[in-house]
Structure 1
Amino acid sequence: MKIFAKIRGLYAAIVIIILVTFNIFAFLIFPKKYYKKIKIFFTKIILKLIGIKIVTEGKPDKEAKMIIMNHSSFIDIPVIEATYPYDMVWIAKKELFDIPFFGLLLKLPENIRLDREDRKSLIFLLKEAKEKTKNKTIAIFPEGTRARGEKLLPFKPGAKIIAEKLKLKIQPVIIICARDRFDSKKLELNPGIIKVKYLDSFYPDPKKEWLKELRETMQKEINKEKANL
């Protein structure tokens, strides 16, 4: 019943707020070299407490410097943080960095700020991405926001520009049933399985419409995996 899903959703929100707060304090206390372990620790606790089990398929490519994922729920971020073995930085919109206190969750691990209103932000974005990919992976949701249905939203060009300019190897990752488990907009929680599938990595060809083709490939994989689950 939806009333129970709402109650569970409220519980999930409280759990997330409390543990994110502890996560931020841990960032403030411990050196940066421990940040990845801190994120894994707290995200795994969050998922366990709200009844989310993650099943993975495929293998993360250590050489890939950009992972591209679909986005349907707030829980997508903890799911990836808990399962991706290599250090990463997220590209996130400026507004999230400006949230009092909780913005530290993005600022302290040096994630990349994207200001959609500033035309010069692309120069900053490329500069930051080039520096960060020396020893980290860039994580990006090319849809730019959470999708409401099963169909992927159009991919914004940011991922294409960064990958081509910096000649980055890309690994697509699909997250299946995240919104079914935790609808963060309706605040409804239904404990169960979320599947993370790592697809084959590749170097983008600027002469091809690879971003459009990638969206079609990811959509087919999501449809297939959703039917199986």
Structure 2
Amino acid sequence: MKWFRNILGRVYAVYGIIIFVVTMLIMIFPIWLISFLPDPKKTAVFLNLARFWMGFYLPMVFCPVKRKGLHHFKKGQNYVVVVNHNSLLDVPVTSPGVPGPNKTLAKKEFAKIPLFGILYKIGSVLVDRNDEKSRKDSLEHMKAVLDMGMHMLLFPEGTRNRTEYPLKSFYNGAFILAIETQKPIMVGIVFNTRKILTPGKFFYAIPHAIQFHFLPPIETTGLTLEDLPALKEKIFVMMWDYYDQHAAQLA
């Protein structure tokens, strides 16, 4: 029955895209209006709209999100939030799923996409990964986001994990940012988005419930860049172990 599953997966993908486009066209005007506000209010209002949007869209495509560990976020404290990255679906799950205003890091090219680019201009720090100056400037922009009291949401694997393992190796950026700003790191782990959008399969999706878990934050007070390798390794092992222990039961 593999052929039947392939047909269903493509029919579902069409359904998911249609619902996304229709709901985006409804949401795009209010999002465009709030794009004229200053930050951090602009991002806060945008994310409230995004939470309403995704709170409708994801259940409509049979991919409800359940969050766990929200109590780890302390009132008045913002974080560098690091999350695993398995799918294109991770961004609409994680940005609205992190409580409070937050921005993520995104490729500058995304901002050029008609309509869709507005979302990235508001909700992201944009970077040209092929430009060294842009990469350096992005660090300062992320520090400014934290200075405004927002969270900075980052995928330390850099790109989507298409391997058979829970995680790919981490880049340094998220940990440099946390150390230099002395902000605690909030660890988030997303489950099952890879099951919805299977790597290597074009125009194919299968609905599945999603879990988004937060672990106790890691303090960086007093750490220096000399501590970066140990900090990165500590969080990598923490995320790997948690994913390994829970993935099967949440499948």
Structure 1 length-normalised TM: 0.90
Q: CA RMSD in A?
A: 2.0
Matches within 5 A, 1:29-178: 29-30=33-34, 32=42, 34-59=45-70, 60-62=72-74, 63-107=77-121, 109-133=122-146, 134-151=148-165, 152-178=167-193
Shift, 1:128, TM fit: 1.1
CA distance in structure 2 between the partners assigned to 1:35 and 1:150 by the alignment: 35
CA distance in structure 1 between the partners assigned to 2:20 and 2:206 by the alignment: 15
CA distance in structure 2 between the partners assigned to 1:73 and 1:85 by the alignment: 21
Higher strand share: 1
- Are the aligned partners of 1:56 and 1:196 in contact in 2 as well (CA < 8 Å)? yes
For 2:218, the equivalent position in structure 1 comes to 202
Quick check: which has more Rg, 1 or 2? 2
Q: Could you give the per-residue CA deviations for residues 18-65 of structure 1, whole angstroms, max 9, x where no partner exists?
A: 323333322113453522211111111110111012222212414242
CA distance in structure 2 between the partners assigned to 1:82 and 1:101 by the alignment: 19
Q: Secondary structure at the match of 2:116?
A: coil
- Are the aligned partners of 1:64 and 1:201 in contact in 2 as well (CA < 8 Å)? no
Q: Secondary structure at the match of 1:145?
A: coil
For 2:9, the equivalent position in structure 1 comes to 5
Q: In structure 2, give the amino acid aligned to 1:219.
A: W
Shift, 1:150, TM fit: 4.0
Task: Name the CA shift for 1:98/1:184 in 2 (closer, same or farther; >3 Å).
Answer: farther
Q: Which structure 2 segments of 5+ residues have no match?
A: none
What count of residue pairs does the alignment treat as equivalent? 228
Task: Name the CA shift for 1:26/1:221 in 2 (closer, same or farther; >3 Å).
Answer: same
Q: 1:219 aligns with which of 205, 230, 240?
A: 240
Shift, 1:220, TM fit: 1.4
Q: Secondary structure at the match of 1:22?
A: helix
Give the structure, 1 or 2, with the largest relative contact order (CA under 8 Å, sep 6 or more). 1
Higher helix share: 2
Shift, 1:224, TM fit: 1.3
Shift, 1:182, TM fit: 3.2
Shift, 1:191, TM fit: 2.0
Structure 2 length-normalised TM: 0.83
Q: Secondary structure at the match of 2:216?
A: coil
Stretches (4+) displaced over 4 A: none
Shift, 1:96, TM fit: 1.4
